[in-house]
Amino acid sequence: MNTTIESILHYVDQKEVVELTRSLIRIQSVYRPKFEGGNEEKVARFIVDYLKNIGLEVYYEEVAPGRPNVIAIYDSGLPGKTLLFEGHTDVVTEGDLDSWTYNPFGGEISNGRIYGRGSCDTKGNLAAAISAVHSLKKSGAAFTGKIILCIPCDEEGMMIGIKDFIRRGWADRVDGAIICEPEENQLCITQKGAMRIVLKTYGKMAHGAMPLTGINPTTRMARLIVELDQLEQIEKERLGEHPYLGWPSITPTIVQAPVKGEPQINVVPAQCMTALDIRTVPGQDHDQLTKEIEDIIERLGKEDPDFKATLDLIENRPWTETPKDHDVVQAVAQAYTQVTGKDPVYNGVPGATDGTFLHLAGVPILTTGAGDRHIPHHADEYVDIDELVETVKIYTLSALNFLK
């Protein structure tokens, strides 16, 4: 490293990122709409105070009752590009407490790791982004343009936070974004798309002893599921295994009959429902995939006059891909080498992130951060302190590289 880089990284404070991570973990932010305070409000207000104390321009915008976004700006005062760091405040449920060795909301430290819900996904990385901006500010390092910290609610749900952020125009002039998620500091330049589809087949109730007096929607749903399995195989053969994302998939996750009312073993139900979790890779067109499923339904209807089905696309998150030669990827790749002395490892995100919608809004994204990618949502979730400090340094230099 040259002297300038060393002098800037001198301001990276391990104690700050560790204590900030622990503080964020201790403020519960699981979304529990039936319980008072079961939202992101408390942690958001804590973050607002923290960001104001370090001298940033801060905005608090409520997306839904008790569910705010926090936005902070560090402006150089000079014209230039805008870099966005994005890290969400919500975490998933802790689940069965008996499965935890550590208090899920204790922020305990053991053997060089911080334990707790959100330590890895993604309060540790949120703390790293805040600490990186603070390090830059303390160093007085010169840059052009500005940095925006986007800290939304509801990433683990329907992503209403990032959608609101975009709707209010915050993403309009962003030139690149770093999505702060646990990826072992690998540079994830692509991520799978997601489609959530609800299929229903319709029949006629009947006695199980006399099924021909009714119309069985479950056998017809079974035919549809078999056809979807064949469609998945066709897509796999067409596309092959993606080098970073693996295989595309069409997965029935819920099969339910009847859709309403109590099931009974000697009753043919009137309806059957199947939920599909479809994960796509570059090269797949979501509209075309939807049409292919609709074509299957139409064909089965022609083969069986009693086959009636509907398709409802309830969520549509396209895959993303950012070229390696894009400025934001180059900036992070250079920072990774400056910090570690090694070549970066490129990868892809197996699930969707808030970056999905930033990509849709025209913002080039890269996803990286501390944490084992297999640990999120597990009991005894943790992040390694050494890796977290490395992330702060990578974020810090990524900003400088991007905003030269």
pLDDT tens-digit readout, 327-354: 999 999 999 999 999 999 999 999 889 9
Q: How many helices (H) and strands (E) does the chain have?
A: 10, 18
Give pLDDT tens digits for 28-45.
Answer: 999 999 999 999 999 999
The tokens describing 392, both together, are: 């702060």
Residue 4's pLDDT band, with cuts at 50, 70 and 90, is: confident
The mean per-residue pLDDT over the stretch 39-58 comes to: 98
Prior bond to 211 cis, omega within 30? no
Give pLDDT tens digits for 174-233.
Answer: 999 999 999 999 999 999 999 999 999 999 999 999 999 999 999 999 999 999 999 999
C-alpha to C-alpha distance for 89 and 48, rounded to whole angstroms: 12
pLDDT higher than 80, residue 3: no
Give pLDDT tens digits for 285-298.
Answer: 999 999 999 999 99
Q: In 10 A of CB 200, how many CB atoms?
A: 18
User: Based on the number of CB atoms within 10 Å of its own CB, is 160 exposed (0-12), middle (13-18) or buried (19 or more)?
Assistant: middle
The mean per-residue pLDDT over the stretch 378-395 comes to: 98
Query: With contact defined as beta carbons under 8 Å apart, do 188 and 356 qualify?
Result: no
pLDDT higher than 50, residue 316: yes
C-alpha to C-alpha distance for 92 and 111, rounded to whole angstroms: 24
Query: With contact defined as beta carbons under 8 Å apart, do 309 and 256 qualify?
Result: no
In the numeric block, the tokens 């959608």 are attached to 163
Instruction: Give percent of the chain above pLDDT 90.
Output: 98
pLDDT higher than 60, residue 2: no
pLDDT higher than 60, residue 388: yes
Give pLDDT tens digits for 263-272.
Answer: 999 999 999 9
Tell me, what's the pLDDT at 325?
98
End-to-end CA distance of the chain: 17
* Residues 360-389 as b or e (16 or more Cβ within 10 Å = b): bbebbbbbbbbbbbebbebbbbbbbbebbb
Residue 1's pLDDT band, with cuts at 50, 70 and 90, is: very low
Bridge partners of residue 215, in order along the sequence: 204
Give pLDDT tens digits for 126-166.
Answer: 999 999 999 999 999 999 999 999 999 999 999 999 999 99
The mean per-residue pLDDT over the stretch 292-307 comes to: 98
Prior bond to 122 cis, omega within 30? yes
Concatenated DSSP letters for 111-154? TTEEESTTTTTTHHHHHHHHHHHHHHHHHT---SSEEEEEE-S-
Tell me, what's the pLDDT at 229?
98
Query: With contact defined as beta carbons under 8 Å apart, do 45 and 39 qualify?
Result: no
